[in-house]
Amino acid sequence: MSYSNAIPKLASSRHPNINLNNVTSVPVNIAVTARSKICIVVAVTGVVVLIAASFIVPVSLALTHTGPFATTSLSRTTATTRTTATTTRTTNSEPSECSSYTIINDVTRLTTAAAGSQCDRTLFSLNTTWVRFNGAGGTKLATSAPASNQCDTQGTGWYSGSLPASGVSNNGTVCYVWRSNNCNWSNTIQVTNCGSFYVWGLIIPPSCNLRYCTA
């Protein structure tokens, strides 16, 4: 487009009542002035657009980036919960009988004690009673067969089963010695290894006079 044609069109757009379409030429100095004004308008418009873009883009990026931060935070919270969930189950792993039992300290139960007529049918029942033997009366049931007529009874009871590992409970047999028979009577009991001591799940013996003996 030539300067001479651009000026009439620019003037007509600014002042509709003025018709310069019949003007065939415009002096060069006027055309140059008009061109300068057009360039200024375009330049100002470009600056406004750039400023708006520089404001909108960071805001858009900030909004777009919010999602991943929120997701990362939730993920860390869940992992921490698991960890706290994996530490509680370990603390409560000890068998309950290791903290709830009856203590018996009776020197007449020792396999070295004299004969007598005591019978544990008066002390125990068909329901299991958890017992810890402690003190001068011995710390566990005898694990080898004593002679009969000892530990203040006639039929002497001893544990013939295997002892469990720490934190484990198992079943075993108690035999009662009578004369030359090391297992004339028997019954099944439970035993739990609590680490530094044993607890014994005892029930009523099968007859009298029978008694659990200690060592």
Residue 166 Cα distances to 93, 160, 169, angstroms: 12, 19, 9
At residue 5, the pLDDT reads 54
Beta bridge partners of 173: 188
At residue 196, the pLDDT reads 96
At residue 9, the pLDDT reads 54
The domain locations on the chain are 3-90, 101-212
Spell out the per-residue pLDDT of the chain, length 215, in tens.
Answer: 444 455 455 545 554 555 545 544 444 444 444 444 443 433 444 444 344 444 444 433 333 343 433 333 333 333 322 222 222 223 357 899 999 999 999 999 999 999 999 999 999 999 999 999 999 999 999 999 999 999 999 999 999 999 999 999 999 999 999 999 999 999 999 999 999 999 999 999 999 999 999 99
At residue 91, the pLDDT reads 34
Q: Could you tell me the pTM of the whole model?
A: 0.58
At residue 48, the pLDDT reads 40
At residue 13, the pLDDT reads 56
Q: How far apart are CA 98 and CA 198, in angstroms?
A: 8
**157 neighbors 145 (Cβ within 8 angstroms):** no
At residue 172, the pLDDT reads 98
Q: Which residues of 114-123 are buried (b: 16+ CB within 10 A; e: fewer)?
A: eeeebbbeeb
